[in-house]
Amino acid sequence: MKIICIGRNYAKHIEELANERPENPVVFLKPDSAILPNKNPFFIPPFSNDVHYEVEVLIKINKVGKHIASRFAYKYYDEIGLGIDFTARDVQQQCKEKGLPWEKAKAFDGSAVIGNFYNKNDFDLKNLSFQLLKNNEIVQDGNTQSMLWKIDELISYVSQYFTLKKGDIIFTGTPAGVGKVSENDVLIGNIEGLKAFQIKVK
């Protein structure tokens, strides 16, 4: 399986990090070793002093596809979920300053939280609300209405470069409100009021 991540897909998140708005989706990958095992805590890696949470809507691909047109993209997924793209922001900044890839900052072990998946037909995917709570306080409050590129557009775009296979997961980007995690933080992700995951930080 592949974990395909989309960066800079919410305008306010682009603004909060003072990034340039892209002309096309920003795409990067995480290996399967980045998946945080179910019910395991997230351990802050020793190489970073500034790990950030980034909550994201997830799409699970259900069959092989290549060069998928947007109008047919809905056929390639049945389930949606919620997760976290943990980012070593200090390491990422160093990489960006040197024009280097982001993998050390984005793809390290445990950096991908994958919560529960739900039948997509139970939701309005164009108006899907989701939140991240840190220690019972809402820190990110997003809605798919604010995506620069919608879910079907992302599937179409990504499939021009990578063959999508059953079980692949697409992280669709994070809204504004990202921030640092600290030891003993508890992170809870909700999607339309449903608790998708709960993570303890160590």
Alpha-helical regions (H) of the chain? 11-16, 89-97, 103-106, 151-158
Task: Tell me the pLDDT band of 22, cut-offs 50, 70 and 90.
Answer: confident
- The sign one gets for the Cα dihedral 180, 13, 92, 60 is positive
Q: What is the pLDDT of residues 41-69, one digit of tens each?
A: 999 999 999 999 999 999 999 999 999 99
**Structure tokens that stand for 157 in this block:** 């775009």
Which residues have a Cβ under 8 Å from the Cβ of 151 and sit 6 or more positions away? 57, 59, 73, 77, 125, 144, 172
pLDDT of residue 18: 62
**Model confidence at 14: pLDDT above 90:** no
CATH superfamily of this structure's domain 3-128+142-182: Fumarylacetoacetase-like, C-terminal domain (3.90.850.10)
Residue 80 contacts residue 123 (beta carbons within 8 Å): yes
- Of 4-8, 15-19, 100-104, 126-130, minimum mean pLDDT range: 15-19
pLDDT of residue 17: 66
**Model confidence at 20: pLDDT above 70:** yes
pLDDT of residue 8: 87
Q: What is the pTM of this model?
A: 0.95
> Tokens 């640092």, residue?
180
Q: What is the pLDDT of residues 138-194, one digit of tens each?
A: 999 999 999 999 999 999 999 999 999 999 999 999 999 999 999 999 999 999 999
Give domain limits for the chain: 3-128+142-182
